Amino acid sequence: MKLNLTTGVIPSLNVSAGLLGFFFVKTWTKLLNKAGFLKQPFTRQENTVIQTCVVATSGIAFSGGFGSYLFGMSEAVAKQSTEVSDAQNIKNPSLGWMIGFLFVVSFLGLFSVVPLRKIMIIDFKLTYPSGTATAHLINSFHTPQGAKLAKKQVRELGKFFSFSFLWGFFQWFFTAGDDCGFVNFPTFGLKAYQNKFYFDFSATYVGVGMICPYLINVSLLIGAILSWGIMWPLIKNREGDWYAAEHSSGLHGLQGYKVFIAIAMILGDGAYNFCKVLGHTLSGLYKQFNSNDTVLPVANRSSPVTSRTLSYDEQRRSELFLRDQIPSWFAVGGYVIIAIVSIVTVPHIFHQLKWYYIVVIYAIAPILAFCNAYGCGLTDWSLASTYGKLAIFTIGAWAGAANGGVIAGLAACGVMMNIVSTASDLMQDFKTGYMTLASPKSMFVSQVIGTAMGCVISPCVFWLFYKAFHNLGAPSSEYPAPFALVYRNMSILGVEGFSALPRHCLTLCYIFFAAAIIINAIRDAVGKRRARFIPVPMAMAIPFYIGGYFAIDMCVGSFILFIWKRINKGKASAFGPAVASGLICGDGIWTLPSSILSLAGVRPPICMKFLSKSQNLKVDTFLNS
């Protein structure tokens, strides 16, 4: 949640979930065994089921839209855009409706792809790289050598968790006012600080930088230099010509360029990858249908998999995977029942989102869920947010501004994202279960339980942030939630068209939209070796709005990992993810007590602020007088 509300950059935390799940349950079972209550060992299948539940719970923090479409409906975000900010197009967060909304939209994706699991995993033999990697990790834990390594990894995670938590606690003492504390340390000077270039001592983003690939971190830094180092200062010099000075902080001023150019790059990247993954999907399906070896399964026909083509391990996995079937009638019936409940309920939560909009979404959602799950199996790339943006533009334009089109578009985004995101997540988990010999029924039940937990836990955690930090969503706050404004402005763009853009902004948007497509095409054309040196447009776009401070944190994390690998590659590979997870979790957990202190009215005692020489002289003169 903290990552969602700060930058929106969320790395995969599957390794952390698997490692901590293994450690805690292993410790618990040992204690039970010593007490004489348990004789069975902790198995990889149980580890897989726990992992599935934990990841499903945390996944709702992303698909729930607390840092994007859902918070984008609020008055706090609407005030920043000034366009279409009437009561009809605002809905402030409330714990009741958020939990209710998530419960009626988050389970459809699970039922939409269950009948296709055999086709995806066994017949098409899709790799699902993240699911396969998680399975290998879990399998390695349940070997004598793997168990020893896991113990050491957890020890390292614990050390850096403690350090990160205590560092967050120490920093809190110096944040008594606005722009106070280490998070506002002008590392490269005050001029660079004004342009969002500084190191903010965030253990979270140093940890994220250690997990994310080097290329992503460098792309973020390049994007920050291009926008805050070059473009925004040049556009600011055009104040009075390109935009009126009084509009500087609104969408018709400099803020508009920051937001809409970032949106153009994100949409360009999304459009390219959508076409690319769709092309892979259609190509893969064409090959499957026209393959001489493969017969697509139909009712009462045995699997085309034969012992002649499979190893003993694969035969055993396939046998166990097919033995524990989830009936198709159950999946189809579940989808229809939940869809009916959702069609009736959601318009009561968002009166702007009419029932027939939802019917259209649910009619095409299974096809898009299949495409996303299939594409994810080929490329490990989920396009859930891209499908969500598609819903924003189509439903928002259909509803219109006068009928609350902004809220309708954002709510439709939530409905679509929850379906396609959970569908691909479930198929990744089925692949993990297939590799670890876990029961598909158990995996499905675990995913349902995890999703239900996420529908309650995630809104409660967000509500804590919302109540504790009154400037949540403000650009200069500790939690700017940049994607909330981005998603809202996408919805405004869908409703109002290009009239919402400041002068020359549309031309720049076209340029950056095209640039994102061209850069991606070049990356694919030159091959993987050379593509390592070409930045990723999506990553470049993120700092356009919020600045480069977090990119510097992440590059510091990359640099630490790079030096560590130079000194001892084996240790860095084994313990790097554990150290990074400790840094992320410790700082993240500190947010909970700091929120409680804020709610209780306990303020830090010190404000550490940095002033220029001239400002300091004025302050001293004022105090002395």
170 located within any domain: yes
Most confident of 377-381, 497-501, 603-607: 603-607
- pLDDT at residue 80 in the model: 82
For residues 553-581, give the mean pLDDT.
90
- The sign one gets for the Cα dihedral 255, 256, 260, 261 is negative
Residue with tokens 């110096």: 174
- pLDDT at residue 557 in the model: 92
Q: Token pair of 289, please? A: 């249908």
CA-CA distance, 323 to 303, in Å (whole number)? 12
Q: Above 90 in pLDDT, residue 559? A: yes
625 located within any domain: no
Contact 126/287 with Cβ under 8 angstroms? no
- The sign one gets for the Cα dihedral 594, 599, 605, 606 is positive
Q: Which of 94-108, 227-241, 273-287 has the lowest mean pLDDT?
A: 273-287
- pLDDT at residue 283 in the model: 79
Contact 193/552 with Cβ under 8 angstroms? no
Q: pLDDT band for position 403 (50/70/90)?
A: confident
Task: Compute CA distances 360 → 103, 365, 537, 569, whole Å.
Answer: 20, 8, 32, 52
What are the backbone dihedrals phi and psi of residue 612, each rounded to the nearest 5 degrees, phi first? -75, 170
Q: Above 90 in pLDDT, residue 97? A: yes
43 located within any domain: yes
Q: Above 90 in pLDDT, residue 79? A: no
* pLDDT single digits (tens) 193-227: 888 898 988 888 898 888 888 888 899 899 999 99
172 located within any domain: yes
Q: Token pair of 338, please? A: 């939940």
Q: Which domain holds residue 271?
A: 2-616
- Does residue 175 sit in helix, strand or coil? strand
> Pick the residue with more confidence: 277 or 207?
207
* pLDDT single digits (tens) 445-488: 999 999 999 999 999 999 988 888 878 888 777 788 888 888 88
Q: Which of 12-21, 495-504, 574-583 has the lowest mean pLDDT?
A: 12-21
Q: pLDDT band for position 299 (50/70/90)?
A: very low
- The sign one gets for the Cα dihedral 454, 459, 465, 471 is positive
Contact 1/462 with Cβ under 8 angstroms? yes
- pLDDT at residue 307 in the model: 43
CA-CA distance, 535 to 543, in Å (whole number)? 13
Q: pLDDT band for position 295 (50/70/90)?
A: very low
622 located within any domain: no
Letter for the amino acid at 426? L
624 located within any domain: no
- pLDDT at residue 549 in the model: 87
Q: pTM above the 0.85 mark?
A: no
CA-CA distance, 398 to 287, in Å (whole number)? 37
Q: Above 90 in pLDDT, residue 13? A: no
621 located within any domain: no
Average pLDDT score, the chain: 84
Q: Token pair of 601, please? A: 């009215």
519 located within any domain: yes
- pLDDT at residue 310 in the model: 61
Task: Compute CA distances 491 → 69, 395, 398, 486, 494, whole Å.
Answer: 9, 9, 11, 9, 5
Total domain count, the chain: 1
